[in-house]
Structure 1
């Protein structure tokens, strides 16, 4: 899809429902847009194929199958598909919008990750791919571009251990039993991550994805892929001919367990690898435990630092902003009960040996009937009494016995609220934070149940902590298209002002070059952000004048409407030759732009010695050693009787000196 079509789609509404607000990414076969589902009022990602692909029946079928494929994978680490349709003859998918960035973007920024971060991301990747393997599907194209790293539930964008990871683009996956090469005969994988068997035979199974995941782990740990080459086919065959090197060879000091993990996943023989992503996941979890790292799942329910975790299973759930499209934190039941929470009459009997029954002696035969009648009365009376106690006890427990008043936690800090609740036998759950200008940040704004309301003893109290006054950080919009930048600021309740455009040799026309205030600055809702947008490359190409005489250089620059600013410098280059220029040749410039030129003063001058009355051959040898040219007049074997230029004259290197020699 070309830029013109992409710009046309922005602002349009697809199928009367999906309003496109900006472009997120453009691939070789499709473009992904950010859109608003106006029916459900949520942000979604809309993926629509390029018109050039619409005539390819096989590709359209494969694109259509993508929705069916992902729909079969219901997993928190798989990008979900919501809808499917056609717009102006082009198939599209409506998918979950993940607020974050790709692992490729992350690696471009960070170069490489710590072992803890790399294993945390890999663990969630493998969980998603293992779900596909259980469904009989092979991804075939596992790479950083297809791994999305969402913002951490804890709100710390830099905390990758807490981040939610999602695997995308299962559209190229095939059923395991039908795995083969693409219809065009080309590999359906990126050569940097391709498994050897896919290169040799084109056959792929679950172990193919295991190999690619191992290469991704290698790249996360080292900041580079194992193999490089001038041609893709050269890189592909290196996977066949060589073993992936241990990461510690590139980054000394990495734990040996990581070398073993990469080696296990990237064996050239598929039979030597884990059988599927689930098998590798087990080994990754063992490696994380070996490094003393908790599993990624613990990020979902994490105790507050510095506060002891309660003895029961209920924990504090980190707050997730309501606008976050990737909030995957599950709801925890309002109360988590243990056997000890039940009243005594509802508990199971204690285990253990029974006491031997007391032996009774038989009553006299004459009183046998009376004995049994009395015993029946006693038993019936006891049963009625027990039933009455149970009924009354149950009624008391259900109506009031199990209830107490909720403590007041308002305005307390999170640590204070947890301490008080724990003291009174309650558990605290953290709800979504709320903005508040009255309550200090991190303190309790509201609680459920409210202070003094009835609550089951030992139940959980949900608190909403203050996020402080509502402030939003200006996002990093450099390099984004103008419409996308406007939509992003509107989502943060910030106003937009378009400043004067500027020329740029790097940013295409219509792309944001900078913002004022800068990215990261926190603003109140309603504040204005000025967008500086690129007007494209400047209209004048600066000519190359290096090596030319200053007079010629001046003329060329004047013809282009540019100004020459000259500076003389010492140089071995000939006098008046342009040594360097700023800006460089080919750079765009506006009219009357100054071009700084460094002009050579020429090489240092040489002072001629006095050769009169010296042997002519000796004088000739001295002059040639000084880098000068020599012309001998009359007799070259005689004595110097005259020289031109005369002695003590300063000349440039390479100048001609004439010697007149005779007896």
Structure 2
């Protein structure tokens, strides 16, 4: 039973004894040296080739496929084209631009610029000079200030400042002149000053009320005023004198109208006849006609109270309010 149990749990391996002679023989046999392989030099060569190729690729994509753009600024178009072609590159003029330093027709700029890199067989694009940029001052006389500023802006110039002066013939706010004058060639953005009218110079009006109307007329005529003259009677202002003036003060301008009302003197009234009337009736009649009455006794006064003389006489005209003298007997 025990033997059967061992047979189920374990397995017995029979080992053959190693002869002593064989063990000694194996210990004394020499070990052969490792064999050399050819794979090492091949791998090294491959690595070197790849390194060279990587270097060439880096050079090509970094600098090898590029040329240096020749500098042709300030050269004529023909000379610039010849120089660029000699470098193996194309040349094309794509436009023009103003230049203060480069003469007309000469190269003013390139793309790429001189000294910059450009692909082999690439094309250099160039702009040729149109010379200095200049713009003529526009004619702005007769324009309003706003219109003149717009005209300057359209001409690529700018408005500087305005000075104002009186002008008898040009309305206020209208441009009289420019500085520099019209037609002058200026750089882009240069300032142009303007002279603007303030209109006619104002004239201080003199008051001629109560003064000689003819003197007033001459004074206003010499200064360019229009005089509107009318006449009317006045019991207080002598004939030929100014009763009223409009305007009578302040400032005016040439061409303005001044109205003068000139006195014709008082209203003249026909003197009624009172000779032969009694004193009271004569006085009442004269006062009713607008006169004052001065009653005097005649040299032969006897107390009858009748009018024997009057001055001014009947039918004559006298200023209303004036005095009529009567003599009574």
TM-score range, shorter chain: 0.3 to 0.5
TM-score norm. by structure 1 comes to: 0.20
Q: Which has the higher strand share?
A: 2
Q: Which has the higher helix share?
A: 1
Of the two structures, which has the highest relative contact order with CA contacts closer than 8 Å and spacing of 6 or more?
A: 2
